[in-house]
A and B are shown apart, each in its own frame.
Chain A
Amino acid sequence: MNEEELIKTAKSGDKKAMTVLVKNYEKTVYNFAFKICRDPERAENIMQETFLSMIKSLHQFDGKSKLSTWLYRIVANHCLMEARKKKHEFVSIDDDENGLYDSSYHAGWEAMPVNIIENKELKEILDEAIQKLSPEYRVVFLLRDVEGFSTEETGEMTELSVPAVKSRLHRARAFLRNEINKAFEK
């Protein structure tokens, strides 16, 4: 059964088809939720909320976009809602355009091995850097640069204009690059 047929069957209440859809996307959803919140427990909660939303709203899914795109949008919305509730302190990168660009360059960039998963130190640096970034910027960076959606698709998923996506993206890139560079200097 292809995805279109699976969705049609799941919409009619078929639990087997719904199970297949969940299993097809659970890894993607969990991974993306983890990338946003950097916490396994919160990623699992968001994954559960996302699929509960999917089951509740699947009848509204019109097939104009891909199901994966629809799910990414739900994950992003859940993460943003959760972050707003928690009211963490994030580093403001809305102003000070010049301060974003730091030409210092640490040799650590050259020394880091390719295999990130086995490099605990680098993972900690990456977690720490992205957690300082406000979720509104984080989501744009992750959708566009990490998950590979186009600027237009990222805009649709986050309900931002293309110029707003570009603005957040280039600030997020510069901020993360600087945070990692600073961590290499320590």
Chain B
Amino acid sequence: MNDDKKICKEVMSHICDSLGEDLDSPKCIAIKNHLDECPDCSNYFKSVEKTIDFYKKYNVELPEEAHNRLLDVLGLKED
């Protein structure tokens, strides 16, 4: 593995490690600078963010029948 690729692997690891954490440490600033110059890592960063966003937005509704069965199981009633 050449040096550039090694740096990119470290950056990718750091992105996965620290997303959502304090991004003002010297290491994070160096990572941000690298992202500005490296399209591979920049795309990787965006795709990890999108992965999280996809799962955040993937919600389901509670079916009414499931709600009714829940109250039955618990021995509770609607008002």
Cβ contacts B26-50/A at 8 Å (1 or 0 each):
0000000000000011011011101
- CB atoms of B52 and A15 under 8 A apart: no
Q: How far is the CB of A14 from chain B (nearest CB, A)?
A: 11
Asked if A51 is at the interface of the complex by the 8 Å CB criterion, the answer is yes
What is the predominant secondary structure among interface residues of chain B facing chain A? helix
A83 sits at the interface (CB 8 A): no
Among A62-70, A74-82, A84-92, A174-182, the stretch in contact with B: A174-182
The interface residues of chain A, by DSSP majority, are classed as: helix
Q: Are B71 and A19 in contact (CB under 8 A)?
A: yes
Inter-chain CA distance A98–B52, complex, in Å, is 21
Number of interface residues of B (CB under 8 A): 41
Interface string of A130-165 (1 = CB under 8 A from B): 100000000001101110000100000000000000
Asked whether, in the complex, the Cβ of B40 is within 8 Å of the Cβ of A52, the reply is no
Interface string of A96-110 (1 = CB under 8 A from B): 011011010100010
Question: Is there a chain B Cβ closer than 8 Å to A116's Cβ?
Answer: yes
Inter-subunit contact B51/A22 (CB<8 Å): no
Closest Cβ–Cβ distance, residue B61 to chain A (whole Å): 8
Q: List 7 A-B contacts (CB under 8 A).
A: A15-B76, A19-B79, A30-B60, A48-B73, A51-B74, A52-B74, A173-B51
Residues on A lying within 8 angstroms of B by beta carbon are 15-16, 18-19, 22, 26-27, 30-31, 34-35, 40, 43-44, 47-48, 51-52, 55, 97-98, 100-101, 103, 105, 109, 112, 114, 116-117, 122-123, 126, 130, 141-142, 144-146, 151, 166, 169-171, 173-174, 176-177, 180-181
Q: Using a CB–CB distance below 8 Å, which chain B residues touch chain A?
A: 8-9, 12-13, 16-17, 19-21, 40-41, 43-44, 46-48, 50-52, 54-63, 66-67, 69-71, 73-79
